Chain A
Amino acid sequence: MSERREGDDLDAVEARLRGLRPRGVSLDVEAILAAGLRPTTNATGPLPRPRRLALAVASWLGGVATGVAVTFLGLWLAADRRPATADVPAPRPLPTPVSAVATRAVATSGERPAWRPASSEPPEAIGRPWLADALAAGVAQLAATDPTQLRPATERSPWRITLEELQR
């Protein structure tokens, strides 16, 4: 009910406002028509086809030129322009790997390198006394260990050796 009354009130306000006439207007219709029908340089409407094509080509060329310019600008900005310093020595060339030397030797001589056969000499005889010392220390430590404290053979690592094997 109140909505209906509110609607009636708004209708009354609307009618009252519609009763007010805006101030008179002094528009010269003939002058408007004359001005509107006069040809202008910027008249609206579609462009002729050749001009549209020329605009499309120019637009494409502009895009390409912009892309090239941006690329060159990036390259120029990224270039290393530090002055060369005379004090800094030139970097040493990397050493040639041994494998590469051997391969090159095989390639040039046609012979495979002769590997040294296994030696029966003791370690100290072939110039490795530290290996003999390490072996002796290991043997001494194993001999001093209580055999009952050792793990059973089934739990042993396959890489562990027994004292007998070592002494052999």
Chain B
Amino acid sequence: MSRIDADAVRELVAAHGAGLVLYARQWCRWPDDAVQEAFVDLVRLSPQPDRPLAWLFIAVRRRALNLARGERRRAERQRLAAEAREPWFSDDAAGRLTTAEVTTFLEQLDPLDREIVVARIWGGLSFEEVVAVVDRPLSTVHRRYRLALAWLGERMNADDTQAEVKR
């Protein structure tokens, strides 16, 4: 099997670029860099992987963790500046949640749970692919995904109730 062709790369960037950036955003300040480097690695790879999307998630994770290690070495001033983060999402289709709220909820999740939820919902990975990315048993991934969704649902419903009371 040869290298991945240019059209396939373009399709992957268009369809999953945002999801991959969101995935990398969990670990580093410059998620675009991590995703770009992962795509460059994918283009260089010969033969191409069987499941390019799952491979990309694994590569993005590794790149993002490397970048995060580099970021941690920087000065305290830069760390504080990093905390004034951008929201992770652009909008809410249902119009009820603010992006900052969802970002906060996701940040409160256990790192592994957050990784599973992001890879599954915004990455569009199947459970089998998520298992390959996070390197945990399928039953564990499934159970943690359901628990994380239940926890997020509770938080979002509580938020909605508060918003209605204010109105």
Q: B residues 39-57 with Cβ under 8 Å of A?
A: 39-46
Q: A residues 13-39 with Cβ under 8 Å of B?
A: 13-14, 16-29, 31-33, 35-37
Say whether A45 faces chain B, with CB atoms less than 8 Å apart. Answer: yes
Say whether B121 faces chain A, with CB atoms less than 8 Å apart. Answer: yes
Q: B residues 79-113 with Cβ under 8 Å of A?
A: 86-94, 97, 99, 102
Say whether A145 faces chain B, with CB atoms less than 8 Å apart. Answer: no
Whether A20 and B150, one on each chain, are in contact in the complex, defined by CB atoms closer than 8 angstroms, is no
Say whether A99 faces chain B, with CB atoms less than 8 Å apart. Answer: no
Say whether B149 faces chain A, with CB atoms less than 8 Å apart. Answer: yes
Whether B150 and A27, one on each chain, are in contact in the complex, defined by CB atoms closer than 8 angstroms, is no
Say whether B158 faces chain A, with CB atoms less than 8 Å apart. Answer: no
Interface of B is mostly: helix
Say whether B152 faces chain A, with CB atoms less than 8 Å apart. Answer: yes
Question: Contacting chain A: which of B11-19, B61-69, B70-78, B133-141?
Answer: B11-19
Say whether B58 faces chain A, with CB atoms less than 8 Å apart. Answer: no
Out of A13, A18, A23, A36, which one reaches B42, CB within 8 Å? A36
Out of A20, A28, A36, A45, which one reaches B89, CB within 8 Å? A20
Say whether B130 faces chain A, with CB atoms less than 8 Å apart. Answer: no
Out of B35, B45, B149, which one reaches A44, CB within 8 Å? B45
Interface residues on B, range: 35 or more
Q: B residues 123-160 with Cβ under 8 Å of A?
A: 146, 149-150, 152-153, 156
Q: A27-B35, A43-B44, A45-B46 are in contact. Are A33 and B6 (CB under 8 A)?
A: yes
Say whether A131 faces chain B, with CB atoms less than 8 Å apart. Answer: no
Cα–Cα, bound, A36→B156 (Å): 42
Closest to B46 in A: A45
The interface residues of chain A lying within 8 Å CB-to-CB of B41 are 36
Q: A residues 21-65 with Cβ under 8 Å of B?
A: 21-29, 31-33, 35-37, 40, 43-45
Q: How far is the CB of B95 from chain A (nearest CB, A)?
A: 9
Whether B35 and A17, one on each chain, are in contact in the complex, defined by CB atoms closer than 8 angstroms, is no
Q: How far is the CB of A66 from chain B (nearest CB, A)?
A: 32
Out of B18, B40, B97, which one reaches A32, CB within 8 Å? B40
Q: A10-B149, A14-B121, A32-B36 are in contact. Are A23 and B88 (CB under 8 A)?
A: yes
The interface residues of chain A lying within 8 Å CB-to-CB of B146 are 10
Pairs across A and B, CB under 8 Å, 30 listed: A6-B150, A9-B150, A9-B153, A13-B149, A13-B152, A13-B153, A13-B156, A14-B149, A16-B97, A18-B122, A20-B93, A21-B89, A22-B22, A22-B89, A22-B122, A23-B21, A23-B86, A23-B87, A25-B18, A27-B13, A27-B39, A28-B36, A32-B36, A32-B39, A33-B43, A36-B42, A36-B44, A37-B44, A44-B45, A45-B46
Starting from the known contacts A10-B153, A16-B97, 6 additional A-B residue pairs (CB-CB under 8 Å) come to A13-B149, A20-B122, A23-B22, A27-B17, A36-B9, A40-B44
